[in-house]
Amino acid sequence: MSTIDLSPTALPTALPALRTPARRPDLGPATALACRECGSRYELGALYACAECFGPLEVAYEFRGVTRESIGAGPANIWRYRGLLPVPEDVAATRNTEPGWTRLVRADNLARELGMRELWIKDDSGNPTHSFKDRVVAVALAAARELGFSVLACPSTGNLANAVAAAAARAGIRSVVLVPADLEQAKIVTTAVYGGTLLAVRGDYDDVNRLASELSGEEDWAFVNVNVRPYYAEGSKTLGYEIAEQLGWRLPEQVVVPVASGSQLTKVDKAFGELSRLGLVEERPVRVFGAQAGGCAPVATAFKEGRDAIRPVRPRTIAKSLAIGNPADGPYALDVCRRTGGAVEDVTDDEIRDAIRLLGRTEGVFAETAGGVTLATLRKLLREGLLDPGATTVLLNTGDGLKTLDAVSPLVGPTAEIDPTLAAFRAAGL
């Protein structure tokens, strides 16, 4: 696999032109794109930043006829919530390899060890490429095809690369993914196996993302987390919808979410708000907590220092899927955690490894490093008295530990090595 030598370059001086579809796209309840900062509105298209203030755009909706019954009649994947997503009504007619409806595990053993009353793990390792990124890519792909794109692309820290390459292969279209050259080998292999174009870039994720932003202005490709980012980001809402439905249509009191770009945390919070406004759940406060690795913790640092601005950092952590030094949604994640009475905390690499083993030992869930970050953060929040041990709490595990074996392989192994005899077994004192 070839690599590209990348030196830091400036962001594009102008926004890419809005790609106008040949017809008005059928994106279900989505009606427009709206700027989070100034409120300017735009027609649905491949646009991600406001031309007035350069603020980020998100999807605006008019929801109609969404009930618990209509959701329950849908398929056992994210398309059961199609009435709440920017996708065509007929999207549910796709194959049965779609993501979502992953298990919500009641973690009684772990709760007992931590001194908690009710703890749940939303385990997204059961998705097609074993991470939550399959959710956001599925929504981005559905929107991209409606907008007339035939190439799916992304910059990625690994899991997104897997999801884009696999989704494009299933859809029969080309994929182009860019990753840091020092990415975990397992994530490189599990992207390359799906075919498509895989470029390893000498630089960290922020360098890769900068190159992708430049390419999005040059190539007629759907970069899922750049020029079609408003639709892509909405896929994370399905985590919040599923948590509420799987809890019997009730909201948790606390949720702990890993923070990379910060988008997942903000969209889970958005999902809870939408369900409440639509009367699908009883409205109640949900405290939202963000989890970062100490080697890449710009949001946690800003939270603890009481700042609104995020100061970019150079990542240095085993949790490479969270290693975004300049997170696009960092300020919005701060807003959510402060507004809900939550917090953002960070943990060391050793704490991450310990948490991965703890989760495996107590609940039989093998989390990737991002899941280790989330559980280690929960433990730290409990020690600091910031998280209520008596409240109904949901912890997100967003990926499979098989993708990040190097993080724990030096610390685990056989209990003993013995000869194939009963005497040897007895001698080992097992």
pLDDT in tens, 72-116: 999 999 999 999 999 998 897 665 568 999 999 999 999 999 999
Q: Which residues contact 277 (CB under 8 A, 6 or more apart)?
A: none
pLDDT in tens, 397-408: 999 999 999 899
pLDDT in tens, 289-331: 999 999 999 999 999 999 999 999 999 999 999 999 999 999 9
pLDDT in tens, 328-340: 999 999 999 999 9
Domains and CATH numbers, the chain: 3-67+133-232 (3.40.50.1100), 104-130+236-407 (3.40.50.1100)
- Report whether pLDDT(245) > 80: yes
pLDDT in tens, 140-183: 999 999 999 999 999 998 899 999 999 999 999 999 999 999 98
Its pTM stands at 0.92
- Report whether pLDDT(32) > 70: yes
